[in-house]
Amino acid sequence: MAKIVEFHHAVADQGPRRSLSFDAEAAREARIRIDENDEGQLRVQANRAGWLHLARVCAELGLGNFAPGFTLRLDYDFRWGAGSGPEIVLERLDDQDEA
């Protein structure tokens, strides 16, 4: 019989100073790797902690009170401002926009 697991994540849509709050930096144990091959295809690999971190980032983008056009720019290892390599850009679109 299959085991049922659940994922719960609470999102605060404003920080303590009434500004947007977003925790996108991965925990130490999280391993996330994003590579691009010669054909432009992205490959995302992660350990269990990494996949759960990606789920939290997606949940916060979807549930938070972010204006359309809000973007996160992170290195491929999901660290802020390391500037050592390619970036991934995650953007919140308006609900009526086509992706």
Token pair for 71: 């973007």
Q: Which candidate, 20, 22, 24, places its Cα nearest to that of 79? A: 24
pLDDT at 94 over 80: yes
Residue 19: predicted pLDDT: 45
- The Cα angle at residue 91 between residues 29 and 9, in degrees rounded to 5: 45
**Residue 33 · residue 46 · CB < 8 Å:** yes
Domain coordinates in residue numbering, the chain: 32-91
Greater pLDDT, 80 or 66 = 66
Residue 14: predicted pLDDT: 58
Report pTM.
Answer: 0.70
